[in-house]
Amino acid sequence: MFQMLKNWNRRARTLLWGLTILGVLAALPIGFSRHEMEQTSNQVEYVFNYRDLLLISNYQARPQEFVSEQLAKLKEAGFTTLAVFESTLEELVWSGRLTVYNSAQQALLNGKTAPLGENFTYILFADADAEAAYAPMIRSAFEKAGIPAREWSFGERPGLLLETPVEDSSLRSMQPDPVAIAKIREAGFHVLPRLSDRIRPYDPEEMNRLLQSYADQGITRVLFDGDKVTGYTDQADKKSLTHFGELLKQHNIGLVRIENLKNPQSGMNKLAYVTDYNIVRLYSLSGSDAAAMTPEAIIDRFKLAAKDRNIRMFYMNASPVRSLDKGGITHPMDNLYLAIGGDAEKKGAVEQLAEVGFEPGQAQPFDYEYPAWHKVLRAIVALGAIAIIALLIGVFIPMLTLPSFILGLIGSAGLYVVSTSLLEQALALGASIAAPTLGVIWALSRVRSHTEGNRRIVGGTWEEQPSQAGDNSDRLFGGRWLFDAPPFGKRLVSAISLYILTAVISLLGAAYVFGLLNNITYSLVLEQFRGVSLLHLAPIGLTALYVFLYTGHSVKDNLRKLLGLNITVLMVAVAAVLGVVGMYYLSRTGNAGQVSSIELVFRNLLEETFGVRPRNKEFMLAHPLFLLGLFLSLRYRAAWVLMIVASIGQLSMVDTFAHIHTPIVISLIRVLLGLGLGGIIGLLLIAAWQLAEGVWKAWAPKFKAGRTG
């Protein structure tokens, strides 16, 4: 029975590799469909925060004149859109359309003393037009909140009295300023309203009127302010979020999603689903960055966002700054004009992005569709993913190769019923770990076949040489540590061949990532690939396990020898260093990793040179050491440890495709560049090693002779 199961597992490996290749072939058309989708939206929109402009104008001698001048400069620089927030009394004061007083200030206007027992808000409109525009909006907002509002006037100027303190009234949100919207459109800009969930309770009829007015004015998109989308709070009682989404869809108004928020805005995923994912992604430049960054740095950031992350909207903030050095209030508007519009000497972001295919205009959502044949192909991809995961398990426990595949099929069927998304994520993670691990183990098995004798690759049984089978020494691994190396040329060709073929095996995992996670929600970062940290650790750990336990004559014997090692201070120090390196390595994974200023300069240099920036850890560390390790492994057994470092580069290639918001072509170019540059550096390391080895061979005998003499 045991022998029968062993034979079945051996035959199953061939079948599983066939299913693995079939899954990869099925993933390729899916990847091409995604590439076509990513070509459907190439316009970028440059947005400025109109509220910030009003705030800055409040520190100028002639605010209204300043706003008019800056609107002209914004237009000239290439800004296409202005963002308008929900109104507050404070913002309307900045605009110069009304003045707000508390009870004491109002009494002084009338030459009276402050009234006792009263702390109201008095609003004085600039003129009758301002009253007509704002009085109904203010009344509606405050009466809805249960705050009485009645008429009040001073001289011939009309006003309103609100029975609430100024400190409270100035924080109440109202609908975006209709006069500001009209002024912005008159100046030739598109309008991007910023709505919130602060106006409650949700009023379906009022929201319908508001969105109808936006549609009539050509407004095609809304951006949310705060940590919730409009309608989220009242969804349980009024289904307000669903109603709001249906209204947006009815009026053909889309959404904007802000990138890199610490906490995603609540309700965005639900709203996205209701609106058929009519969304574009936005990168926001903070006011402090607008002031501190150079125009060149801002341009580089925008280019990277558009090319590498499919960002189609750039939102810029600005703020007034008190400067003792300049003796006054400063602002970053001129810096932004240089960054976006450029000057006679330097092209701005608008022109530079247009040169690489991103014309200015209104940002459009990706045009996506999923043909019926996608479902069939994705089922085949899922089957292949289960197969490659089973192959990885079989490497370490050969008897479980076939059982793990069968259990994988059963478990996947159950998980499919619970959550399709969770199934796809689990299979993508498993395949992305399995492929690079199998690739490195395969390379190591080929090295062993060239040094220790004929051996079966990836999950097969090891056929030991008779001379080594009885080696029971206490040395780690046993066997030989120095091999009879083939000629230099043959070693080099073998190393290069293994370098290329290992990369091919590893990239099977990339096909499973984009084949399984082919959904618009991933491209819009509404969902993200889970398990990034596990992907960055598991292949390294599994490769290390294989190197230290599975490359000797017996796993049990190797484990005994490892456990029997005497721990030294040096070992503890090395372990501590490796721990620190591991923590730093993990800190650099994902989008939250921090980089130094020197690395930023280097990144920009790579971007300017190649157009696409390869990953530093691939072409500067893992790939060169892998090629050098393959070359040395054919001579020195100790070099097999470099396979552990190699796994970093292999998994990193797969992880590149796990950034699904990055265009698939960019990911492919990045991986190929990393392999090419890493290979070149690896060849230089081999040349340096050969030179050093030659010098050592020439001088070592003389050195020994000198010491003995």
Q: 622: which DSSP letter?
A: I
Residues 122 and 14 in one domain: no
Phi/psi of residue 286, each to 5°?
A: -70, 160
**What are the pLDDT digits (tens) for 632-677?**
999 998 889 899 989 999 999 999 999 999 999 999 999 999 999 9
> Who's near 373: CB < 8 A, 6+ residues apart?
none
Decide if 214 contacts 193 (C-beta within 8 A).
Answer: yes
**What are the pLDDT digits (tens) for 343-379?**
988 999 999 999 999 999 999 999 998 899 999 999 9
Residues 351 and 373 in one domain: no
Residues 64 and 94 in one domain: no
Residues 220 and 232 in one domain: yes
Evaluate if residue 517 carries a pLDDT over 80. yes
Decide if 496 contacts 623 (C-beta within 8 A).
Answer: no
* pLDDT for res 2: 60
* pLDDT for res 206: 92
Average of pLDDT values for 125-137? 93
Average of pLDDT values for 295-319? 94
* pLDDT for res 463: 42
Domain count for the chain: 3
Confidence at 465, pLDDT banded by 50, 70, 90 = very low
Domain boundary among 336, 360, 384: 360
The Cα 631–Cα 639 span in angstroms is 9
Evaluate if residue 43 carries a pLDDT over 70. yes
Residues 147 and 115 in one domain: yes
The Cα 477–Cα 455 span in angstroms is 16
Residues 71 and 14 in one domain: no
Domain boundary among 147, 172, 197: 172
Average of pLDDT values for 506-514? 97
Q: Does residue 708 sit within a domain?
A: no
Confidence at 467, pLDDT banded by 50, 70, 90 = very low
The Cα 106–Cα 239 span in angstroms is 43
The Cα 615–Cα 673 span in angstroms is 9
* pLDDT for res 396: 93
Domain boundary among 157, 172, 187: 172
The Cα 384–Cα 17 span in angstroms is 8
H-type alpha helices, 399-487? 401-418, 420-451, 466-469
**What are the pLDDT digits (tens) for 671-695?**
999 999 999 999 999 999 999 988 8
Residues 534 and 395 in one domain: yes
Residues 324 and 308 in one domain: yes
> Who's near 606: CB < 8 A, 6+ residues apart?
613, 614
Q: Which residues of 341-364 are buried (b: 16+ CB within 10 A; e: fewer)?
A: bbeeeeebbbebbeeeebebebbb
The Cα 654–Cα 513 span in angstroms is 8
Q: 621: which DSSP letter?
A: I
Average of pLDDT values for 522-526? 93
Q: Does residue 277 sit within a domain?
A: yes
* pLDDT for res 113: 85
Phi/psi of residue 311, each to 5°?
A: -75, 135
Four-residue CA torsion sign, 319, 325, 328, 334: negative
Average of pLDDT values for 596-600? 56
Domain range for 95: 89-172
* pLDDT for res 557: 75
Residues 253 and 342 in one domain: yes
Least confident of 406-420, 509-523, 554-568: 554-568
Q: Does residue 709 sit within a domain?
A: no
* pLDDT for res 402: 92
* pLDDT for res 8: 76
**Which uninterrupted H or E stretch holds 154?**
strand 149-154
Evaluate if residue 264 carries a pLDDT over 70. yes
Residues 78 and 94 in one domain: no
Residues 481 and 558 in one domain: yes
Evaluate if residue 458 carries a pLDDT over 50. no
* pLDDT for res 481: 78
Residues 546 and 665 in one domain: yes
